[in-house]
A and B are shown apart, each in its own frame.
Chain A
Amino acid sequence: MMWQVELHSRFGHQQSAFELDIAFTSNSQRLVLFGPSGAGKTQTLMMMAGLNTPQHGRVVFNDKILLDSQSGVHLPARVRGLGYVFQDYALFPHLTVRQNIGFALHEGWLNPPPSHKDPSVNHWIEVFQLEAVANLYPEQISGGQRQRTALARALVSQPEALLLDEPFAAMDRPLRLRLRSELLQLQAELSLPMVLITHDEEDMQAFAQEVIQVDNGKVVSDSSPSD
Chain B
Amino acid sequence: MDSAWVALALTLKVAGWATAINLLMGVAVGYTLSRWRFRGRDVIDAVLTLPMVLPPTVLGYYLLVLLGRHGAVGQWLQQNLGIQLIFTWQGAVIAASVVAFPLVFKSARAAFENVEPSLEQAARVLGLSEAAVFFRITLPLAWRGILSGTLLAFARATGEFGATLMVAGSIVGETQTLSIAVYEAVQAGQDQTANFLVLVTSVSCLALLLSAGYLAPGRIAGQAQRGDR
Binding site for B on A (CB under 8 A): 46, 49-51, 76-80, 82-84, 86, 88, 90, 92-94, 103-104, 107-111, 136-137, 139-142, 153-154, 157
User: Which A residues are CB-close (under 8 A) to B132?
Assistant: 107-109
Given A86-B118, A111-B136, is A141 in contact with B229 using a C-beta cutoff of 8 Å? yes
CB distance from B170 to the nearest CB of A (A): 45
Contact between A90 and B119, CB atoms less than 8 A apart: yes
Cβ-defined contact, A140 with B228, below 8 A = yes
Please measure, in the bound complex, the distance between the C-alpha atom of A154 and the C-alpha atom of B122, giving whole angstroms: 9
Q: Is the CB of A84 within 8 A of B127?
A: no
Measured CA separation A183–B137 after assembly (Å): 28
B131 to chain A, nearest CB (A): 7
Complex partner residue of B224 from A83, A104, A108, A139, CB under 8 angstroms: A139
Determine the interface band of chain B, counting residues with CB < 8 A from chain A. Answer: 20 to 34
Residue in contact with B127 in the complex, picked from A78, A110, A140, CB distance below 8 Å: A78
Given the known interface contacts A109-B132, A111-B136, A140-B227, the answer about A49 and B122 at a Cβ–Cβ threshold of 8 Å is no
Is the Cβ of B122 less than 8 Å from the Cβ of A90? yes
Whether B81 sits at the interface, judged by CB under 8 Å, is no
Question: Which residue numbers of B lie inside 8 Å of A, CB to CB?
Answer: 116, 118-119, 121-129, 131-132, 135-137, 140-141, 224-225, 227-229
**Complex: how many Å from CA A157 to CA B228?**
29
- Give Cα distance in the complex from A65 to B134, angstroms: 28
Q: Which residue on chain B has the smallest CB distance to residue A82?
A: B125
Q: How distant is the Cα of A157 from the Cα of B32 in the complex, in angstroms?
A: 31
List, in ascending order, chain B residues with CB within 8 A of A141's CB.
229
| A residues in contact with B225, CB < 8 Å | 139
| B-side contacts of A139, CB under 8 Å | 224-225, 227
Known pairs A51-B124, A78-B129, A142-B229; A110 contacts B136 (CB<8 A): yes
Q: Give 27 pairs: A residue, B residue, CB < 8 Å, sorted on A.
A: A49-B125, A50-B124, A51-B125, A77-B125, A78-B126, A78-B128, A78-B129, A79-B127, A80-B125, A83-B125, A86-B122, A90-B119, A90-B121, A92-B119, A93-B224, A103-B126, A104-B126, A104-B127, A107-B132, A111-B136, A137-B224, A137-B227, A139-B224, A139-B225, A153-B126, A154-B125, A154-B126
